[in-house]
Amino acid sequence: MCIGMPMQVTAIEPGHAWCEGRGERRRVNIALVGTVQPGDWLLVFLGDARERIDAGRAAEVNGALDLVLGAMQGLDASGDASFVLPSHMTAEQLKQLAGQT
């Protein structure tokens, strides 16, 4: 299984962007997301940007990754994920999540 990591663009070069996220700096292939600018957020899988995301979504993914990391380290995984899990959403929130607004 591959896990996407949110990374913020810091510099650009042809076909690639230098990005930082979760304590790492990486050169990321941006062929699938097109033109990016410093400050943009990307969801990166194995060195390739697969999706452009906003800062809010980056925070949600980071929150989920923090919980997974904590669970793998044997810590209490009942912390705040910084977002509402689908099992705790209202019917309206689920419709919005599914793009049925």
Beta strands in the chain (DSSP E): 5-13, 16-21, 24-29, 41-45, 48-53
In the chain, what are the domains? 5-97 (2.30.30.140)
Give the pLDDT of residue 33. Answer: 97
Query: Would you call 93 helix, strand, or coil by DSSP?
Result: helix
**For 13-69, how does the pLDDT look when each residue is reduced to its tens digit (9 = 90+)?**
999 999 999 999 999 999 999 999 999 999 999 999 999 999 999 998 888 888 888
